[in-house]
Amino acid sequence: MSDPTSLPNFPPPADEHPLRGRVLDVLVDMGAQPNIDTDGDVAYQANEQTVFVRVTEGDLPVMRIFGQWTLPDEVAADATKVSQTCNEVNLSLNCVKTGVANNTLVVTSEHLVVQGADLSTLVQVSTSIILSAVQLWHERALGLEPGQGAQGEQGQEGPDVNGSTPGQGQS
């Protein structure tokens, strides 16, 4: 008999979490290597950044795609500038929300996933716009010209609001 701890971590059956199962399929088809963290969120890498998908199943399934970045000290020190920058980005982009908690920038895109929705397009577009919003946020917060800020200079990934650390889920 084999050691049960050495067995691979298979996702739950699709009928238990149908939307999350579909999200996992989309991410695998995109070439990502998603995993499910301890909170049940799907984590994956996009442009060397950790992005998460949190799904709420039910009559109206909701898919929340989000990322988290620790703010650089020079930005985090100015709470007014942080709030103004969040407001500017929120008013500039239709499909994302930004906010800051504990010096961690959270950028999210949320969708009701109705029957027949093109989930692949939703995931791809949401991921792209989240990463673009993070770059825009840092450019505005640091007073840079558009395109001057590189995504690699955006600060470090921070802990999840609920205490988990991005990328520290199950494989």
The pLDDT, as a whole number, for residue 35 is 95
Residue 77 lies in a domain: yes
The pLDDT, as a whole number, for residue 145 is 78
The pLDDT, as a whole number, for residue 96 is 97
Which residue numbers in the chain have pLDDT < 50?
Answer: 150-171
The pLDDT, as a whole number, for residue 148 is 66
- Residues contacting residue 114 through CB under 8 Å, at least 6 positions apart: 60
Residue 88 lies in a domain: yes
Domain count, the chain: 1
Percent of the chain with pLDDT over 70: 75
The pLDDT, as a whole number, for residue 170 is 41
Residue 56 lies in a domain: yes
CATH number at residue 41: 3.30.1460.10
Query: In this predicted model, what pLDDT tens digit does every residue of 48-65 receive, in sequence order?
Result: 999 999 999 888 999 999
Query: In this predicted model, what pLDDT tens digit does every residue of 28-38 receive, in sequence order?
Result: 999 999 999 99
Burial 66-99 (b: 16+ CB within 10 A, else e): bbbbbbbeebbeeeebbeebbeebeeebeebbbe
- Residues contacting residue 104 through CB under 8 Å, at least 6 positions apart: 68, 69, 70, 71, 158, 159, 161
- pTM assigned to the model: 0.76
Residue 60 lies in a domain: yes
Residue 33 lies in a domain: yes
Residue 162 lies in a domain: no
Tell me if 31 sits within 8 A of 69, measured CB to CB: no
The pLDDT, as a whole number, for residue 9 is 57
Residue 64 lies in a domain: yes
The pLDDT, as a whole number, for residue 115 is 86
Residue 108 lies in a domain: yes
Please give the residue range of the domain that contains residue 49: 19-142
